[in-house]
Every structure is written in structure tokens, then in C-alpha cells.
């Protein structure tokens, strides 16, 4: 090998040894003819000293070195001079007296340096990702990612799970997000689809009798992106036979307890707390509530029915709601300008019509520009409903259920961050359970499966599939960490008759269901065991455990929010010959 040690390996016990290290020039300092060079690799940083006594050739070569040059240094390990040690790095007590330097590769002046304090814009970082990945924080995050995945694999191996790789080329299933399609050259006009998840394959593995399956799976979804979402992502996928929802959640409770202890120095109390979907929406306005702080939603629609104030009364008369949150002790801290900013926030981001607010006065009464429009019993009722104290601020929305949920959840998250209602590094793990089986699709208006069409209804709700499917609840469960959905799973339908019934409720005729999922329906008729599982978002878990705000910072080569790779300039055009071989003709946009 070109080196005897890494740049993070040498200690006092190596003093006197002749060693060779390789790495990148972090920086260079000339102190009166003696040159100090910090050499870096992913393991750490080592100081190299080249003095005039090493010879003119070595000294001249050292003088030519620039940041990010790749070099090899051979020399003797020595103790640093008294008072010159660096406790911030592991090699801070030693240095290498460089006898020989070899330049392995010169670097051009990079667009930015990995050790510079102020980061450049994300587009520049993604274009030169190979330089960005040299940054210590990026390397620390990818090492954390590797360690988390290893710990996950070890945990499931200890619990007798079998790691099985499922196909990347499969059949398109239009439910859910858009598929990424792959044309088939040997079957003109037909397409494979990249997997949105290994859902169907892992169910088949349960029918096949493998009992416990696990996989670190690559998944693909052609959907709109945001800070915590990517078109291609990695999930820890698992499935178990002869289990119910409690069994699956208990298995993940154990995994989360291990990861939290190992990487967060946090002792989780298991079983993790659970909250129903209905309660989560009522109290927090979201199915992934951040439970590190309070600020719960209060429904005062019953008071709105008692007032002549048109904004409140009109909302409930139209089938809507009046709901709000209490910001404790902040009335005097929120200027009209700041409240106006929050008003524009809920209008622009969530489609709210406006934001009503009340300040609790020292005598306990409520004051607002609209308080004169509300009857004294209604104002007193608001104060009592919110348990408001002098100095508190009340923020209310009068709108549909959906808008009040989204708007108040958005306000809650924004204000919690601005007011620092939780400590850095604070974590809360929980489960949200008992989801509805179905929800309305915004574009088509028809019913779709809230999780996926293979989800089993609660046993007590099974008759509702025939009588009132809108009230049917699912054997579904989401793992929530700090307000992020970190994983989602369900108990699957293992009876082909029930599965066919669900397909019909989703608007699939027996012919359509047979064409799309005939292999699954057939498999369920050949001794399918009760089974269920979950998929954990590895990218999100690493983001949360690493204290990051952007999922792209925990993926080596991510896509932008426009689903492009700035480094390789993908997606790109392909040769016309390739298109002809695939029997594809492109259509310009707008035609």
C-alpha cells in the first residue's frame, strides 16, 4: 500500500517510527522557512513539518503545495513542541517530520474549499459534489448513515429475519405516486416500472413461507419534491408472518430503542406511546405530530355558533370549524407586523382566509380588533376554552376542517421553532394508529387507499366495507419522530375475497384487478398466512439523528428539488438510435 497509516491514526506511542501517510493538503503555513502542512483524509488530520534541514529539494516542493493537492509524505513521528499541541484533533500531540514528499495529483483552484467556514449555495455544492463530500460534516453524516444501516441489519439478523433482494424492474401499478417507467427493447411498446416499494414482492415472500423478510431497498417515486423527499430513496423494508399490528410495532420499538441508545445516548421507554389518527388530527392538525411541545389545537366551533360575528358564524354554518392555538406568555412579544406576517403565512401556504387573534389582558379579558364584534359570553367562553392566562396570545382560523388542520399545524411548527419550545437534540418517538382505510383523491374526487390497497381493515370495521366504507379504519401504523413520518406499515389483507372487495371499492373491476394484481390474488388462494410489516425511511432517520434540516445532506449523490443531478447533468437527452431501438418517439412539450 502507498501508506503505512491513515491521517487520523498516529499517537504518542508511534513517536520515533518512520511512517507514510497520504491525503489532501488541508492548509499550508510558512513559519520563517519551516513549512507546516495539514494533511487530511477521511480518518482525520495530521500535521507535517518540513524544515530546512530536510534538504532544499523537499523544502522547495513543499513550498509549491496548494490546498486540495493530493500528496504522500514519509517521515518520522515526533512529539509536538510544548504548548503547541492541538486537543481538538486526535493526532494533536504528534507531528511528522517530513523527509520525503510525493505529489500524487495536483488540484486546480476549487470553486470552494471543504474547510471554509461559509458554505456556498447548494447548487454549487451539488455540482461539485466530490468536493462537498470532502467536508468533515458530510463525511460524519455518511459514516453515521453507514453505522445506522449496519445496526439495523444486525438487529434483524438477531431476530431471524432473512435478507432478500427483490426486483428493481417490475410492473407499473398506477396507485400512489407516478412510476418511473423503463421501456423494454425486446417487448416493443411495453414498460417496466422502478419500484415505489417492494410491497407486493414481500407479501409474496410471506405466502412462500419465509416468515421474516428484511431488505435495505432502493425505491423510486416520480413526485413533487421538498426538503425531506427525494425521487429515489432508501428504506428499511421488513415483513413478518403470523403477527398483528402490536407485534410489528413491538419489533420496531426494540430497533428504535437500540438506535437511540447507540447514536443519541438516549434511553427510550418502550412500548412507544401511541395516538390514534383521529386524535392526532383533532389535537395537532396532522397525522405526524411533533410531541416535543404542547400548543395543542382547541376547537371552539360551538362558541362560534353562539355569535352573530359573520366570520365565525359563517364558517360553522357552512360546515366549517373555528379552531385555534394558545401561545403562552407571548402577547406582548408579538407586534402587529409579526401577526400580519403570520396571517400572510397561513393565507399563502395553506389557503386560509385570514387569522384572528386575541391578546389576554392583565384582568384576564380578551382584546382584539374584532373583540368588539363578539358577545361577552362568547369572549368569556374563548378564555375558558383555551384556559388562557394574562399575557397569552390566541390565534384562530375559521375555515374548513382541512384548512384549519394544515394552517394550525403550520403555525404550531413555525412558532415552536421560532420560540425554541424544544431543546436542540431533543427527541420524541411515537406511533400514530387506526388510520382511515380510504381518502378522497384531490384530482379525481374518487376514493383511494390512504396507505395502499393491500391494507387490512380493523376486524371490528370489516362489515363497514359493505355498509359505510368511509368509516372503515385500517390496521395501519406510522412511526413519527419529531413531527416527521419516519416509517409506515400495515397488516396486509391475506384473504383474496376481502382483497377483491377492496379493489372494487377503489373503482377496480374484477378484470382490472386481475390484469394488474392477478398474481397476488392467485397467491392469496394458496395458503397465505396473516402477515404485516413496515418500511422505515433510512434517509429521514439519518437526517433526524444527524440533526440536519435537509434530506439531501445525508445522501451521497442527491437530486435537486427539480429532480436533477447537477454533477452528472442527469436527466439528459439520449441518442436517436437508442430511441429507435426502444420503439420510442418523443413529443415536444405543449403538443
Encode burial over 499-530: b for 16+ CB neighbours within 10 A, e otherwise: bbbbbebbebeeeebeebbeebbebbeeebeb
> Helix (H, G, I), strand (E, B), or coil: what is residue 350?
helix
538 within some domain: yes
CATH of the domain at 349: 3.30.1360.30
Instruction: Tell me the per-residue pLDDT of 170-187, one tens digit each, with 9 for 90 and over.
Output: 988 766 678 999 999 999
Same domain, 212 and 167: yes
Assign 3-class secondary structure to 313-334: HHHHHCCCEEEEEEECCCHHHC
- 95 and 205 both lie in a single domain: no
**Quick one: 13 exposed, middle or buried, by C-beta within 10 A (0-12, 13-18, 19+)?**
exposed
- DSSP secondary structure letters along 143-176: HHHHHHHHHHHHHHHHTT-EE-PPPSSB----SS
C-alpha neighbours within 13 Å on the C-beta side of residue 287 = 18
Write down the mean pLDDT value for the chain.
Answer: 94
Average pLDDT over residues 250-261: 98
86 and 205 assigned to the same domain:
no
265 lies in the same domain as 314:
no
Considering its fold, how many domains does the chain have in total? 3
- pLDDT tier for residue 143 given thresholds of 50, 70 and 90: very high
| Cis amide prior to 271 (ω within 30 degrees) | yes
Whether residues 395 and 311 share a domain: the answer is yes
Q: What is the DSSP string of 59-74?
A: HHHHHT--TT-EEEEE
Last residue of a domain, one of 418, 452, 479: 418
pLDDT value of position 354: 95
Q: Provide the 8-state DSSP code for 554.
A: G
Other CB atoms closer than 10 Å to residue 302's CB: what's the count?
11
What pLDDT score does 178 carry?
87
The answer for 318, left when phi > 0, alpha when psi is -120 to 50, beta otherwise, is alpha
Q: Are residues 53 and 79 in the same domain?
A: yes
Interval 112-120 mean pLDDT: 94
549 and 472 in a single domain? The answer is yes
Question: Of the residues 387, 418, 449, which one is the last residue of a structural domain?
Answer: 418
Question: Do 97 and 224 fall within a single domain?
Answer: no
**Do 297 and 359 lie in a common domain?**
yes
Residue 213 has pLDDT above 80, yes or no: yes
Q: Given pLDDT bands bounded at 50, 70 and 90, which one contains residue 283?
A: very high
For residue 301, the tally of other CB atoms under 10 A from its CB is 16
Domain for residue 564, yes or no?
no
Percent residues over pLDDT 70 in the chain: 99
Q: What CATH number did the domain enclosing 456 receive? A: 3.30.930.10
Tell me if 579 is assigned to some domain. no
pLDDT at 548 over 90: yes
Q: Which of 23-27, 134-138, 169-173, 294-298 has the lowest mean pLDDT?
A: 169-173
| pLDDT one-digit tens code per residue, 532-542 | 999 999 999 99
pLDDT at 515: 85
On the question of pLDDT at 63 being above 70, the answer is yes
Residue 48: is it exposed, middle or buried by C-beta count within 10 angstroms (0-12/13-18/19+)?
buried
> Is-cis flag, bond preceding 571, omega within 30?
yes
Same domain, 253 and 309: no
Domain assignment of residue 491, yes or no: yes
- Asked whether residue 401 is domain-assigned, the answer is yes
pLDDT reading at 403 higher than 70: yes
The pLDDT of residue 176 = 65
> Among residues 380, 395, 418, which one ends one of the domains?
418
Q: Is residue 358 part of a domain?
A: yes
Task: Using the predicted structure, report yes or no on whether residue 591 has a pLDDT greater than 60.
Answer: no
**Least confident piece of the model among 261-270, 500-509, 553-562:** 500-509
Query: What are the backbone angles phi and psi of residue 163, rounded to the nearest 5°?
Result: -85, 115
Q: Does residue 320 lie within any of the structural domains?
A: yes
Task: Evaluate if residue 526 carries a pLDDT over 60.
Answer: yes
Strand 274-276 vs strand 429-433: parallel, antiparallel, or unpaired?
Answer: parallel
**pTM reported for the whole predicted model:** 0.93
Give percent of the chain with pLDDT exceeding 90: 87
- The pLDDT tens digits of the residues spanning 411-447 come to 999 999 999 999 989 999 999 999 999 987 777 777 7
Q: Which domain holds residue 506?
A: 138-276+429-555
pLDDT band per the 50, 70, 90 thresholds, residue 561? confident
| 77 assigned to some structural domain | yes
Question: What's the rounded mean pLDDT across residues 232-242?
Answer: 97
Question: Same structural domain for residues 382 and 452?
Answer: no
Stretch 317-345: mean pLDDT: 96
- Check whether residue 248 and residue 300 sit in a common domain: no
Residue 227 has what pLDDT? 63
pLDDT at 578: 93
Determine the pLDDT at residue 175: 60
CATH code (residue 61): 2.40.50.140
Amino acid at each position: 500500500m502507498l501508506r503505512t497509516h491513515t491521517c487520523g491514526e498516529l499517537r504518542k506511542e508511534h513517536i520515533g517510527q518512520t511512517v507514510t501517510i497520504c491525503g489532501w493538503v488541508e492548509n499550508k503555513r510558512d513559519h520563517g522557512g519551516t513549512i507546516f502542512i495539514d494533511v487530511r483524509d477521511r480518518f482525520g488530520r495530521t500535521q507535517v513539518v518540513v524544515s530546512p534541514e530536510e534538504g532544499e529539494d523537499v523544502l522547495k516542493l513543499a513550498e509549491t503545495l496548494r490546498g486540495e493537492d493530493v500528496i504522500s509524505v514519509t517521515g518520522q513521528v515526533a512529539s509536538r513542541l510544548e504548548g503547541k499541541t492541538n486537543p481538538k484533533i486526535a493526532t494533536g500531540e504528534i507531528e511528522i517530520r517530513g523527509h520525503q514528499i510525493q505529489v500524487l495529483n495536483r488540484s486546480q483552484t476549487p470553486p470552494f474549499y471543504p474547510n471554509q467556514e461559509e458554505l456556498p449555495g447548494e447548487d454549487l455544492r451539488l455540482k461539485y459534489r466530490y468536493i462537498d463530500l470532502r467536508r468533515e460534516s458530510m463525511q460524519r453524516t455518511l459514516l453515521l448513515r453507514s453505522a445506522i444501516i449496519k445496526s439495523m441489519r444486525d438487529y434483524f439478523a438477531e431476530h431471524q429475519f432473512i435478507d432478500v433482494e427483490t426486483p428493481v424492474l417490475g410492473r407499473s401499478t398506477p396507485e400512489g405516486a407516478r412510476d418511473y417507467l423503463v421501456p423494454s427493447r425486446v417487448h416493443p411498446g411495453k414498460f417496466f416500472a422502478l419500484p415505489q416499494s417492494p410491497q407486493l414482492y414481500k407479501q409474496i415472500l410471506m405466502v412462500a413461507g419465509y416468515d421474516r423478510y428484511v431488505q435495505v431497498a432502493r425505491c423510486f417515486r416520480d413526485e413533487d419534491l421538498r426538503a425531506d423527499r427525494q425521487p429515489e430513496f432508501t428504506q428499511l423494508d421488513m415483513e413478518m408472518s403470523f403477527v398483528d399490528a402490536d407485534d410489528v410495532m413491538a419489533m420496531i420499538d426494540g430497533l428504535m430503542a437500540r438506535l437511540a441508545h447507540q447514536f443519541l445516548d438516549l434511553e427510550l421507554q418502550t412500548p412507544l406511546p401511541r395516538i390514534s389518527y383521529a386524535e392526532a388530527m383533532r389535537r395537532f392538525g396532522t397525522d405526524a405530530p411533533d410531541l416535543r411541545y404542547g400548543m395543542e389545537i382547541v376547537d371552539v366551533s360551538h362558541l362560534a355558533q353562539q355569535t352573530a360575528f359573520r366570520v365565525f358564524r359563517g364558517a360553522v354554518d357552512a360546515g366549517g370549524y373555528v379552531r385555534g392555538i394558545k401561545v403562552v406568555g407571548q402577547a406582548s412579544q408579538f407586534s402587529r407586523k409579526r401577526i400580519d406576517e403570520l396571517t400572510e403565512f397561513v393565507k399563502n401556504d395553506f389557503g386560509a382566509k385570514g387569522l384572528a387573534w386575541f391578546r389576554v389582558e392583565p384582568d384576564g379579558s380578551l382584546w382584539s380588533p374584532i373583540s368588539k364584534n363578539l358577545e361577552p359570553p362568547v369572549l368569556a367562553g374563548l378564555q375558558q376554552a383555551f384556559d388562557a392566562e394574562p399575557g397569552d396570545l390566541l390565534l384562530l382560523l375559521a375555515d374548513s376542517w382541512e384548512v384549519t388542520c394544515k394552517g394550525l399545524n403550520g403555525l404550531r411548527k413555525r412558532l415552536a421553532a421560532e420560540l425554541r419550545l424544544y431543546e436542540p437534540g431533543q427527541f420524541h418517538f411515537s406511533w400514530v394508529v387506526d388510520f382511515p382505510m380510504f381518502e378522497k383523491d384531490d384530482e379525481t374526487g374518487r376514493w383511494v387507499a390512504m396507505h395502499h390497497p393491500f391494507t387490512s381493515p380493523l376486524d371490528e370495521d370489516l362489515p363497514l366495507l359493505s355498509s359505510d366504507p368511509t368509516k372503515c379504519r385500517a390496521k395501519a401504523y406510522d412511526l413519527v419522530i419529531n413531527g416527521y413520518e419516519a416509517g409506515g406499515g400495515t397488516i396486509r389483507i391475506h384473504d383474496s375475497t376481502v382483497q377483491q372487495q377492496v379493489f372494487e371499492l377503489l373503482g377496480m373491476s374484477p378484470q382490472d384487478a386481475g390484469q394488474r394484481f392477478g398474481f397476488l390474488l392467485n397467491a392469496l388462494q394458496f395458503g397465505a398466512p396473516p402477515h404485516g410489516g413496515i418500511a422505515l425511511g433510512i434517509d429521514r432517520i439519518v437526517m433526524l439523528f444527524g440533526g440536519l434540516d435537509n434530506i439531501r445532506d445525508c445522501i451521497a449523490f442527491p437530486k435537486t428539488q427539480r429532480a436533477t443531478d447537477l454533477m452528472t447533468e442527469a436527466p439528459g437527452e439520449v441518442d436517436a438510435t437508442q430511441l429507435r431501438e426502444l420503439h420510442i418517439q418523443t413529443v415536444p412539450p405543449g403538443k
